[in-house]
Structure 1
Amino acid sequence: MIGLIRALFGALRLLGRERSSDLGGWLLRSVSPLIPVNKVALANIRAVFPEKSEAEVKAIARGAWENLGRTAAEYAHLNTLFDYDYHNPGKPSRVEVAGIEHFIALKDDEKPGLIFSAHLGNWELPAICAAAYDLETTAVFRAPNDPAIASVVHEIRSGAMGGLAAAKQGAAFAMQGVLEKGGHLGMLIDQHFTRGVVVPFLGRPALTNPILGKFVRRFECPVHGVRVIRLPNQRFRLELTPPLDLPRDAAGEIDVAGAMAMMTAVVDGWVREHPEQWLWMHRRWRPNMIGSAALADYEKRGPVKPAFKAT
């Protein structure tokens, strides 16, 4: 099986980056109505955007499938996908980077740091960008369920990124070790986490992993968000936010649930801006898993305040 996956990626490399991306996007966009989990995507979109027509809902879903297909095909070209030269920002490239001053500050402040992201555009690019800037970063990832695909994807990621940490039992200790050494952690925070804290996301309560909130409470380090926007003509834009001004409790320490709510609010805005580039087919909202006490605490917390520090 691994040989077959490697042969597939080899064929995509021969096809070229642009044509591979186009093929992957066209394929998943075309077959998406036949994929059972497309019903999950449509239901999620309808719930978040009740004002949209059925045609608009289906267009967003097809766009999300196309983005997923493009991202999957682009794994074959992951080590050449990022071509922005921050030493020569005027040089033509397929990638734009906004907030480069924050990347530089993270690299030079001699402190640990946290970077959160979401499944938008090609979500592998931020870790590649960090490696290109020599920013010591460990990307926390969830391996694909299929062992053969997981093996090949890990091999590809290892050649294009910095450190990698699999999101599995015991991973928290490895992540903590990165921060204790002054390194940086990058993590996607837009997926369901059964043992998570309840946060508002796209108008509904959702469970999210609290690990970044716990780490910032312990290490008092800067927290940034980074997103990828897929642009026309096979181009991308990376945007790194300023550091977030996270909420604190009465003792002056970071409020973990409030911190995760604020990070999620940033992701909320990203998804609303480019809904056709997010992973709607994930079962993000699972109200039956939220206990009454957690829901009461969520409702008591109220609206999320602005996220960014004044500059």
Structure 2
Amino acid sequence: MSANTARSLPRTSDHRGPGKRPGALKTLRWLTEAGATWLWLRGMRALGPERASNLGGWLGRSLGPRLAVSRTARANIRLAFPEIGRTRVEEIVRACWDNLGRTAAEYAHLDRIMDPANDRVLYAGEEQLRPAIEGRQALICWSGHFANWEVLGCAAAQLAPRSVAIVRDPNNPYVARLIEGCRAIAGGERVNKGREASRRMMGAMRDKALLAVLLDQRLSDGIDATLFGHPAKSPSGAALMAVRRQVPMYPVRIERLGPARFQVNVESPLHPPQDSDRETCTRHLVDACNARLEAWISARPGEWLWQHRRFEKRMYRA
């Protein structure tokens, strides 16, 4: 394990910035969770990439479908694919938990996964990112929570001399620092989503960096859009940036080839429209991104993260 990952637990402070000091019980809970995470990473590291991924997959598909959050996964699948039967729904639930378990185990091996000498990550279409790879122009590459989604930020850091990945840090600051130690192996810059991320996205454009973002999760303050025909608040920051700066958005489809092995496909870019006002152009670009997400999910539903509430609350009540 890298020195960053194996380092001792951080000081008692919230990594997200100054604020109210956590109480003793919350701090104890955070420390307990961080200790368990540290032991998990150490144990997975000792197994090697394939065995760790396989164990994580087995744990995920064995335990995950029994958890309460799987009700959300089943509801999401039925909303997206109303025509499929119960047996197929359960197959997808087991597959998505298998993938999530593998991803959790693979955090301990991101350095080995991303090492070009190991051929664990294969690329197709990456030559389209050459303006950013050569440091001549800022570009945006985006994906969703497919296969091992951490590969996107790591790949951007390896391909381009300057990269910024927008990430979602765990709420537990101690766990967040352990995860950051795993993510940092490829270099580049990572910014937690929120106000700071919005400012840094603008800086990435000025710095002619490669910006990597995940666009498939629901944001309460996101733009009104649809996914699989249902209302789904969607992230719009990257699309707005693309419209403002007239920067193309490159869809990056990440597919799992096996335990700790992946294919990174850089697809043809989505160019920001210019035939209307900024808000309308942004909405059209978000719709195009969601349409691409639908195609990816439909093709390999077992590799997407179904366990979060992607649609509006009223859809789940219905």
TM range (shorter): 0.7 to 0.9
Higher helix share: 2
Among 96, 102, 108, the alignment partner of 1:64 is 96
Going from structure 1 to structure 2, the CA distance change for 1:15 and 1:50 (only over 3 Å counts) comes to same
Matches within 5 A, 1:80-119: 80-84=112-116, 93-108=119-134, 110-119=136-145
- What is residue 309 of structure 2 aligned with on the other side? 283
- What is residue 206 of structure 1 aligned with on the other side? 232
Among 48, 70, 80, the alignment partner of 1:16 is 48
Matches within 5 A, 1:168-247: 168-232=194-258, 234-247=260-273
Mapped partners of 1:47, 1:4: distance in 2:
35
Q: Which moved more, 1:187-196 or 1:176-185?
A: 176-185
Preserved CA contact (<8 Å) 2:131 2:137 = no
2:61 aligned with 1:29: yes
Q: What stretches of structure 1 of length at least 5 have no aligned partner?
A: 86-91, 290-311
TM-score, normalising length from structure 1? 0.85
Among 166, 170, 176, the alignment partner of 2:192 is 166
Residue type at the aligned position of 1:172: S
Among 239, 260, 268, the alignment partner of 2:294 is 268
* C-alpha distance after superposition, 1:185-225 (max 9, x if no partner): 11100000111112221221211111012111221112101
- What is residue 75 of structure 2 aligned with on the other side? 43
Residue type at the aligned position of 1:227: R
- The offset of 1:133, in angstroms, is 2.1
- The offset of 1:79, in angstroms, is 1.2
Q: Which moved more, 1:8-17 or 1:115-124?
A: 8-17
Tell me how large the CA RMSD over aligned residues is. 2.1
Mapped partners of 1:187, 1:55: distance in 2:
34
3-state SS, counterpart of residue 102 of structure 2:
helix
Mapped partners of 1:253, 1:204: distance in 2:
21
Q: What stretches of structure 2 of length at least 5 have no aligned partner?
A: 1-30
Among 164, 183, 189, the alignment partner of 1:138 is 164
Preserved CA contact (<8 Å) 1:206 1:287 = no
* C-alpha distance after superposition, 1:16-50 (max 9, x if no partner): 11111111110011012221010000111112112
* C-alpha distance after superposition, 1:56-91 (max 9, x if no partner): 100001100110000010000011112446xxxxxx
The number of aligned residues is: 283
